[in-house]
Every structure is written in C-alpha cells, then in structure tokens.
C-alpha cells in the first residue's frame, strides 16, 4: 500500500476555535451564515473514517465544512493520506449535481489548499444506516438511489460523453491514486487473507473465515472482480456508495462523500449499494426486541434491493434510448440504419454484464465489511457477539454465492429468495 503523502505548507487543520476566524473572509460562506461571525456556532461531528466535519450555524443560515486530514482518521497519523482527495470529492460533486440535479449537497465553497469543502447542511437528514438500525422505512429510497446511479453512471460514461471531455476527465480522476489503492487492497484483497488491519468477530466466525480464505474459487473470482475495478474504466463512479454515504429525511434523499470517485465499472456502485442493503437485511435480527418483530421491515429492505435494481435498469434503458450521444453504440450505426432492434439487443447485453458485475461487487462488499478494516454500524452495534456472528455469517455465506455464482443468477427475486433461505438457516 502507498504510504506517502506530501502536505502543502499552507495547509492547517481547522478547529472549532479557529474555523470562524479562518473562513469569515470567504464571501460565499459569510453570505450563507450571516456577516456577524461572532454569532457563528461551530461543532465537529465527523464520525467517518477519514475527515474532519464541522457544522457551522450563523444568524442567516448553516453549512457543513468538510476538511481532509493528512492521514486516515480511523487509523491515525501512522497512515498518511493525501489531502487532494478533497479535490476529487469536489469535482465529483459538481459532476453529480449536473447529472442528477438535487441529489447531492450544494457546494458553497471549495479551497483546494486547505482541502476543504463548504456545503449545504442537511439539518433534517440522518445517515441511512441509522434508519436501518432503528427499523424505519424511508420513502422513495429505491427510486432516488436507482435514478441517481443510472443518471450519474450513464452520463459519466462513453455512452454519453464525447471523446475529448471523457479523456480529460479520465485523466483528472486517474490522480485519485491513494484512495483507489485503499479500495483495491481493503475491498478486494485483505478480506481473503490474514491482512494486518483485518478484524472479525472471534472466535465465533473463525471457522467460516478459514473456510472462505481457503476457497480457491472465491479467491479467483475476487481477483477477477478486482481486475474489472482496476481496468474497466466504464464511467465516473461515486466509488464508495454504501449506506453511510446516503442521507435521508422524511421527504428527501441525498448522496454524499464521493471522495473515492474514479473511473471504473458501472456495477461497482450498484453492487456496493445492494451489498449494503443485503447486510442491513441480515443485521435486523440483532436489533429486534423479540424474534420476528422486524419480519415485515426485513422484507421492506429486500424490496428496496429489488426496486433499486429495477429503477436503475429502466432509467439506464431510457437514457440509452434517448441520450446515447457519446463515443459508443452511435445512433448512426443503429437507429439511423433502421437497426433499432440491434441497439436494443446491445442494451440487453450491456445490462446483463452490469448485472453480473453488480452481484460480484455486492458479495465482495459484504465480505470486506465483516472481515476487513472498515465495518458497518448495523452489524457493529449488535452487542451480543453470538447474535452478531450469526448475522455476519449469513451475510458472508450469501456474499460468497453472489461472487462465485454471479454468472448463473438471473434476477433480484432469485437473490431475495437466497437471502430469505439464508436468514432462516441455522449457522455457527
Ligand atoms: C481507510 S478507509 C476505510 C473505508 O472507509 C471509507 O468509507 C471507504 O469505504 C474505505 O474503504
Ligand atoms: Mg465516506
């Protein structure tokens, strides 16, 4: 893993005591918060793996100020990480806002030297993981996320972009090396051997972990998927589209935190999201006061997984038919020759390939969140370790099926049936 990072001498981490003084001169920020900076109230709320996050409230309004630290917050200064990830996050937010308006927080100010983005504060929203833990349904979740993925992934690909824009953008995001390196190792390799930073619920999961790490078919497929992530630069990905990167309120859903943005396979974002929905499904046992209490909620989560794929598929198909103006599958070759049916066949083939990738990436995400460094709150907050291990083992076993059998699984209904069967199976 690359462990070097040069820090700009002008860079200084913000603190609750210095933020107002340091940002008061930024016109866009003062305009949003109110000119009287003595009235600005600031708190640090970052609970993610990497950055500082401040909420600042003034007389006129509020903002979130997110600043990259020169190291991985989760691990500490022993793991340096370049500040330039804020640059990639900013550029990804701008593109996503353009491709699916209203779905990402509005950017108010970006300071590249200070690796800091000031953006809209979503005061009514909570992280989606919190809803899953509480057992709360979120209105229009699958619709919002399915549309977001279809629009950003289609419009950021060579199905939509011209060659000059596309190549320039590919070059720009190719600089997001260290975050890519994190994904390559933490997601695709570390879970499958005894890597230094790994952890799992022990001793309960020791048996299944040994089984998975000795599973040749799984290890080969995991590297095939890693190869697709590294080499198949189909589109600009969000790059970290899990339930911690989605904020929800009664009537609004936003996608945040695209600092892992890079060009990669379309199925990577879709699979990561579906993998997180499936893990939230298996985690429910750990959050119900009595067995079965959350049966209908569990089913609701599976419905979200089915619908997110069907919304993605139908919006992607709509865009294919109406916005296919890029480098690939030009209309001049198909519709303009009277070969619209061939364009439809090509669409089906592309969707089938995205589906296979999606299942594989979903399974890999389910493994790395249970075996690797970065775990998820839905499982981590189950305090009874035996109960937690049961939820985790079911997710691990379904994950394995998704990775290894992805070529044979055809529909989300099949995946849901597998999840239901796994949920009722006795484990550990
Ligand atoms: C060291 S960073 C660990 C994880 O946190 C981020 O949210 C990404 O998911 C990354 O893999
Ligand atoms: Mg994040």
Residues having CB closer than 6 A to ligand 1 are: 49-50, 72, 74, 182-183, 186, 240, 373-374
Give the residue from 113, 87, 39 showing the smallest Cα distance to 30: 39
| CATH code: domain of residue 352 | 3.90.1200.10
Give the residue from 274, 305, 210 showing the smallest Cα distance to 403: 274
Atom 6 (ligand 1) nearest CA = 49
- Residue 80, φ and ψ in degrees, nearest 5: -65, 145
Q: Which among 85, 120, 155 is the end of a domain?
A: 120
Atom 11 (ligand 1) nearest CA = 183
- Whole-number Å distance, alpha carbon 241 to ligand 2 midpoint, is 8
pLDDT in tens, the chain (428 residues): 545 556 788 999 999 999 999 999 999 999 999 999 999 999 999 988 899 999 999 999 999 999 999 999 999 999 999 999 999 999 999 999 999 999 999 999 999 999 999 999 999 999 999 999 999 999 999 999 999 999 999 999 999 999 999 999 999 999 999 999 999 999 999 999 999 999 999 999 999 999 999 999 999 999 999 999 999 999 999 999 999 999 999 999 999 999 999 999 999 999 999 999 999 999 999 999 999 999 999 999 999 999 999 999 999 999 999 999 999 999 999 999 999 999 999 999 999 999 999 999 999 999 999 999 999 999 999 999 999 999 999 999 999 999 999 999 999 999 999 999 999 998 87
Q: Hey, is 410 helix, strand or coil?
A: coil
Going along 259-316, which residue ranges are E strands? 262-264
Neighbours of ion ligand 2 (CB under 5 A): 48, 257
What gap in Å lies between CA 280 and CA 42, rounded to an integer? 32
**Residue 190 CA neighbour count, 13 Å, CB half:** 22
What gap in Å lies between CA 180 and CA 193, rounded to an integer? 20
- Whole-number Å distance, alpha carbon 158 to ligand 2 midpoint, is 26
For the CA of 257, the closest atom of ligand 1 is 7
In a domain, 4, yes or no: no
What gap in Å lies between CA 238 and CA 345, rounded to an integer? 28
The answer to whether 179 and 88 have CB atoms below 8 angstroms apart is yes
pTM value is 0.97
Provide CB contacts within 8 A for 241, sequence distance 6+: 149, 255, 269, 272, 273
Choosing from 47, 49, 271 the residue with most ligand 1 atoms within 8 A of its CB, the one to mutate for a pocket test is 49
In a domain, 6, yes or no: no
According to the model, what pLDDT value does residue 8 have?
82
112 and 132 share one domain: no
What gap in Å lies between CA 227 and CA 81, rounded to an integer? 23
In a domain, 395, yes or no: yes
Span 180-233, pLDDT tens digits:
999 999 999 999 999 999 999 999 999 999 999 999 999 999 999 999 999 999
The answer to whether 378 and 132 have CB atoms below 8 angstroms apart is yes
192 and 176 share one domain: yes
Beta bridge partner(s), residue 9: none
- Whole-number Å distance, alpha carbon 186 to ligand 1 midpoint, is 8
In a domain, 9, yes or no: no
Q: Which among 75, 100, 120 is the end of a domain?
A: 120
In a domain, 11, yes or no: no
| CATH code: domain of residue 88 | 3.30.200.20
Structure tokens at 282: 């298996």
For residue 203, cis peptide bond before it (omega within 30 degrees of 0): yes
Overall domain count for the chain: 2
199 and 294 share one domain: yes
Choosing from 243, 373, 375, 377 the residue with most ligand 1 atoms within 8 A of its CB, the one to mutate for a pocket test is 373
The number of helices, as runs of H, and strands, as runs of E, in the chain is 15, 12
């Amino acid at each position: 893993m690359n462990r070097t990072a040069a820090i700009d001498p002008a860079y200084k981490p913000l603190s609750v005591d210095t933020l107002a003084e340091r940002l008061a001169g930024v016109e866009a920020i003062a305009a949003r918060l109110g000119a009287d900076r003595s009235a600005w109230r600031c708190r640090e709320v970052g609970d993610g793996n990497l950055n500082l996050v401040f909420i600042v409230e003034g007389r006129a309004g509020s903002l979130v100020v997110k600043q990259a630290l020169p190291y991985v917050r989760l691990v500490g200064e022993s793991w340096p990480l370049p500040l330039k990830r804020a640059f990639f996050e900013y550029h990804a937010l701008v593109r996503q806002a353009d491709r699916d308006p209203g779905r990402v927080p509005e950017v108010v100010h970006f300071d590249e030297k200070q690796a800091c983005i000031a953006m809209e504060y979503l005061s009514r929203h909570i992280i989606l993981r919190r809803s899953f833990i509480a057992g709360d349904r979120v209105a229009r979740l699958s619709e919002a996320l399915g549309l977001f993925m279809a629009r950003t992934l289609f419009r950021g690909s060579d199905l939509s972009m011209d060659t000059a824009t596309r190549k320039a953008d590919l070059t720009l995001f190719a600089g997001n090396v260290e975050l890519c390196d994190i994904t390559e190792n933490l997601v695709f390799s570390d879970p499958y051997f005894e890597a230094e930073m790994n952890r799992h619920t022990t001793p309960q999961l020791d048996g299944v972990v040994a089984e998975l790490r000795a599973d040749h078919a799984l290890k080969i497929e995991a590297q095939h998927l890693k190869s697709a992530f590294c080499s198949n630069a189909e589109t600009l990905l969000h790059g970290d589209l899990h339930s911690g990167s989605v904020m929800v309120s009664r009537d609004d859903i936003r996608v945040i935190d695209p600092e892992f943005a890079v060009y990669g396979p379309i199925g990577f974002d879709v699979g990561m999201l579906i993998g997180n929905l499936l893990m939230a499904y298996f985690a429910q046992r750990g959050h119900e006061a009595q067995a079965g209490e959350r049966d209908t909620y569990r089913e609701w989560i599976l419905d979200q997984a089915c619908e997110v794929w069907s919304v993605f598929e139908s919006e992607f198909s709509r865009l294919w038919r109406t916005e296919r103006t890029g480098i690939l599958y030009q209309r001049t070759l198909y519709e303009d020759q009277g070969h619209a049916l061939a364009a439809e066949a090509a669409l089906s083939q592309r969707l089938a390939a995205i589906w296979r990738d999606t299942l594989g990436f979903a399974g890999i995400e389910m493994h790395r969140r249970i075996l690797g460094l970065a775990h998820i709150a839905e499982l981590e907050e189950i305090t009874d370790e035996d109960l937690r291990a049961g939820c985790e083992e079911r997710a691990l076993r379904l994950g394995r099926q998704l990775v290894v059998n992805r070529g044979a699984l055809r529909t989300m209904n099949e995946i849901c049936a597998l999840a239901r069967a796994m949920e009722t199976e006795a484990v550990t």
